[in-house]
């Protein structure tokens, strides 16, 4: 019953996580787009109000005229909308899902003894250290270089090296799928920490100063604005790498590769490069920057290079094509699958301890064990490549008309 309820909890929390992540990423992308497309107003009345940029947009049959103030507005005379619960809800639901799947079930999902045989307590502690340590290092670095003329470039370079090092380390310590998810969760934690510790507190100070009617320190207001902008820009570059790491854990081609840390880092780098293209593209249209096509070219080239490099080797002439009996298939399933899908344990609410259940779930077995190679999880039961091929030949032969 515990496994059954845990499956439902994971499904519902994953659903929530995706919904709130869409809201967070969507609003983040929109405001980056907005900032890049604002133009100085021509209307003297807007200039007198302190508006530094505006744009016109049409959506859903309505016209919109967003305006951004060069400094703090003199007053706010309507409801002020805050954008932070999308971020908080994304992290909370994501950490809940990570806890249920990878921390609560560490021996199954977090640890791969063929990678490193260590205790669940040590593995869990190290995983949590990734989340906290990355943020602390990044936050300290940003503060140290905040006023440096080339601070942004240095932060980017150092973080690039750090992410590469952590990709390697995660893949030396954890199961393949867990390493990918952990890297995504590590960077996503820093994204939400940016919102919680830097962006929102700074905005609250500014809003309080505006609504109090008391004189305020313009230099302090400028600092909070610049820091919030800095962290918001960093977050937008983190987004595509995080999404890739979270989604790619379902691809056995990547998470089971001997050099998976290289694949993870290069794809995250490609995502950040492509994101830079979209960020700068809007500014290019207004003549604010050079055409960003090189960023897109680099990102696409990296992806195409990996697609070519990972292509399957040509089939050899001595591939085993012998027919496979159901008895052979049942023997493989009994040896490799029953520990998680038998009478005692039914992971994913699935049982394979009878001939009928094997036949009913034949396509699922073929997809997970042969095509995707995701099962057995972390290959805990040691299924061999010839056994996978045998399952595949049996399924393909049985599915012919």
pLDDT in tens, the chain (401 residues): 677 888 889 999 999 999 999 999 999 999 989 988 899 999 999 998 889 999 999 999 999 999 998 776 767 778 888 999 999 999 999 999 999 999 999 998 999 988 999 999 999 999 999 999 999 999 999 999 999 999 999 999 999 999 999 999 999 999 999 999 999 999 999 999 999 999 999 999 888 887 777 777 778 888 998 999 999 999 999 999 999 999 998 888 899 899 999 999 999 999 999 999 999 987 788 887 899 999 999 999 999 999 999 987 765 555 567 888 999 989 999 999 998 898 888 787 788 989 999 998 999 999 888 888 888 887 888 899 899 989 999 998 887 76
Are 246 and 330 in a shared domain? no
* pLDDT score recorded for residue 289: 84
Say what the pLDDT of residue 166 is. Answer: 98
- 359 and 270 in one domain? no
Q: Please tell me whether residues 255 and 115 are part of one structural domain.
A: yes
Do 274 and 384 reside in the same domain of the chain? no
Counting every residue, how long is the chain? 401
Alpha-carbon distance 345 to 6, whole Å? 13
Q: Which residues pair with 68 in a beta bridge?
A: 53
User: Do residues 298 and 336 share a domain?
Assistant: no
Q: What is the pTM of this model?
A: 0.87
Is 394 a member of any domain? yes
Domain stop point among 275, 309, 343: 309
Q: In this predicted structure, what is the pLDDT of residue 209?
A: 82
**pLDDT at residue 155, as a whole number:** 97
Contact (Cβ atoms closer than 8 angstroms) between residue 130 and residue 171:
no
Residues 248 and 390 in one domain: no
Q: Which residues pair with 39 in a beta bridge?
A: 54
- Does some domain include residue 359? yes
Of 279, 309, 339, the domain-final residue: 309
**Among 396, 379, 377, 374, residue whose Cα is nearest residue 329:** 396
The reported pLDDT for the residue numbered 319 is 59
Contact 176, 251 (CB under 8 A): no
245 assigned to some structural domain: yes
Q: Is residue 320 part of a domain?
A: no
Peptide bond into 348 cis (omega under 30): no
Cβ-based neighbours of 274, under 8 Å, separated by 6 or more: 240, 295, 296, 299, 300
Q: Is residue 63 part of a domain?
A: no
Clarify whether residues 90 and 23 are in a common domain.
Answer: yes
In terms of domains, do 99 and 178 share one? yes
Whether residue 167 lies inside any domain: the answer is yes
Q: What is the pLDDT of residue 49?
A: 87
State residue 186's pLDDT score.
Answer: 98
The total domain count for the chain is 2
Q: Which residue has the tokens 């999902």?
A: 109
In a domain, 273, yes or no: yes
Whether residue 181 is found in the same domain as residue 279: yes
Q: Mark whether 380 and 240 lie in a shared domain.
A: no
Instruction: Show which of 309, 337, 365 is a domain's final residue.
Output: 309
Task: Tell me the C-alpha distance between 63 and 306, whole Å.
Answer: 44
| Dist. CA 269–CA 262, nearest whole Å | 10
Q: Please, how many CA atoms are within 13 Å of residue 387, restricted to the half-sphere of its CB? A: 21
Cα–Cα distance measured from residue 331 to residue 180, given in angstroms and rounded to the nearest whole number: 32
- List Cα–Cα distances, 112 to 1, 60, 387, in angstroms: 25, 50, 20
Whether residue 357 is contained in a domain is answered as yes
Residues 206 and 331 in one domain: no
Structural domain that includes position 218: 2-37+71-309
Residues 303 and 333 in one domain: no
């Amino acid at each position: 019953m515990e496994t059954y309820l845990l499956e439902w909890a994971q499904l519902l929390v994953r659903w929530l996580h995706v919904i709130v992540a869409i809201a967070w990423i969507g609003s983040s992308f929109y405001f980056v787009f907005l900032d890049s497309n604002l133009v100085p107003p021509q209307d003297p009345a807007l200039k007198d109000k302190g508006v530094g940029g505006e744009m016109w947009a049409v959506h859903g049959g309505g016209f919109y005229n967003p305006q951004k103030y060069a400094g703090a507005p003199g007053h706010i005379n309507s409801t002020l909308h805050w954008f932070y619960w999308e971020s908080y809800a994304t992290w909370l639901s994501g950490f809940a899902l990570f806890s249920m799947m990878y921390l609560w079930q560490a021996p199954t999902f977090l640890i791969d003894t063929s990678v490193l045989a260590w205790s669940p307590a040590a593995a869990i502690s190290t995983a949590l250290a990734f989340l906290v340590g990355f943020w602390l290092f990044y936050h300290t670095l940003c503060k140290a270089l905040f006023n440096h003329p080339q601070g942004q470039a240095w932060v980017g370079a150092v973080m690039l090296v750090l992410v590469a090092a952590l990709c390697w380390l995660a893949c030396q310590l954890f199961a393949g799928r867990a390493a990918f998810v952990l890297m995504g969760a590590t960077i996503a934690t820093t994204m939400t920490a940016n919102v919680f510790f830097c962006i929102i507190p700074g905005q609250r100070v500014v809003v309080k100063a505006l609504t109090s009617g008391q004189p305020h320190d313009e230099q302090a207001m400028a600092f909070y604005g610049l820091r919030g902008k800095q962290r918001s820009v960093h977050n937008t570059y983190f987004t595509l790498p995080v999404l890739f790491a979270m989604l790619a854990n379902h691809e056995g081609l990547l998470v089971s590769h001997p050099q998976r840390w290289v694949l993870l880092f290069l794809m995250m780098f490609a995502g950040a490069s492509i994101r830079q293209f979209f960020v700068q593209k809007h500014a290019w249209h207004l003549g604010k920057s050079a055409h960003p096509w090189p960023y897109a070219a680099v990102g696409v080239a990296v992806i195409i290079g990996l697609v070519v490099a990972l292509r399957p080797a040509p089939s050899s002439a001595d591939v085993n094509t012998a027919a496979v009996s159901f008895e052979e298939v049942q023997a493989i399933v009994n040896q490799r699958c029953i520990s998680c899908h038998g009478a005692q344990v039914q992971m994913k609410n699935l049982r394979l301890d009878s001939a009928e259940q094997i036949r009913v779930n034949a396509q699922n077995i073929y997809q997970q064990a042969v095509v995707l190679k995701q099962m057995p999880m972390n290959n805990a039961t040691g299924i061999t490549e010839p056994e996978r091929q045998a399952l595949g030949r049996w399924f393909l032969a049985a599915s012919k008309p």
